[in-house]
Structure 1
Amino acid sequence: MSPLPPTPSQTAEAVKTLMLSQDSFSKMLGLEVDEVGPGYCRLHFVVRPDMLNGFGALHGGVTFAAADTAFAFACNSHGRQSVGLTVTIDYLEAGRPGDVLTVEASELSLKHKVGVYQVRVSNQHGVALALFKGTAYRTSHEIIP
């Protein structure tokens, strides 16, 4: 008797574990993944002094990188290696030192070769700091055989 195939949630969790084990950049940023599921990821991090720009606000590159990481977990969660085709970000408010930011990626559309995702970055007060939209190309490579 062959084992049952993994559930979509189990696949998402396995992909997250594999990706995190090889993602030194996300570790350096202190990103903590709270939840993954099919087409979904929520993570958080604390804004540190070394993440600030010359005006004392969170550097846009850090915000972008955190959103891009959540996007990557969400679009790869189905078990097929996916890569970003196009991403955009709108910065709405500045992050400040000590803020706890939540980054939540949700799948808007999933087709055979393309997935579209929206990522919201918000602070501990629920204020939206950025909105990120990503389109991913889904390769035929299975991440978890």
Structure 2
Amino acid sequence: MDNTPQQVLNTMLDKDRFSEWLGIIVDEYKEGYCRLHFVIRQEMLNGFGIAHGGILFSAADSAFAFACNSHGRLSVALDVSISFVRTATADEVMTVEAREIHNGNRTGFYDITVVNERQEVVALFKGTAYRTGKMVCDDSPAT
């Protein structure tokens, strides 16, 4: 099976019900990079009427997963962290951009930024990916 970035993305999206629930739309995708957006809905708000941190974390984690798997090798999160810079509210469109900083044989490093409609930073996410010995689109070992 093909492991091009587009096939990898299609395979991941076909099985990712949580990203689907978030309403994620992938805008741009290539090796080591993913830009997506989604809208903060009422059911994503916490008791203070602002976006639950887990929603922002999850969207950033999805962008991270798409970017780190874009090379075709099945990659999983080894370490992640997030800093919340400002709040987000219902009906705001969030854009999430994941950029590969380092693509190693067994690990990859990524910076993920979440911005609102005014291009203000809402959250900063950093992720380290571990590259397994399998391919995303089939069960064959990585070469």
Report how far residue 144 of structure 1 moved: 3.1
Matched, 1:109 2:102: yes
Matched, 1:71 2:67: no
User: 1:17 — aligned with what?
Assistant: 10
TM-score (norm: length of structure 1): 0.92
User: 1:40 — aligned with what?
Assistant: 33
Q: Secondary structure at the match of 2:51?
A: coil
Moved over 6 A (4+): none
Unmatched 5+ stretches in structure 2: 139-143
Match of 1:90 among 83, 104, 111: 83
Unmatched 5+ stretches in structure 1: 1-5
Alignment of 1:132-143 (within 5 A): 132-143=125-136
Match of 2:49 among 45, 51, 56: 56
Alignment length, in residue pairs? 137
* Distance (Å, rounded) in 2 between the aligned partners of 1:109 and 1:84: 14
Q: Secondary structure at the match of 1:70?
A: helix
User: 2:123 — aligned with what?
Assistant: 130
Identical pairs, percent: 51
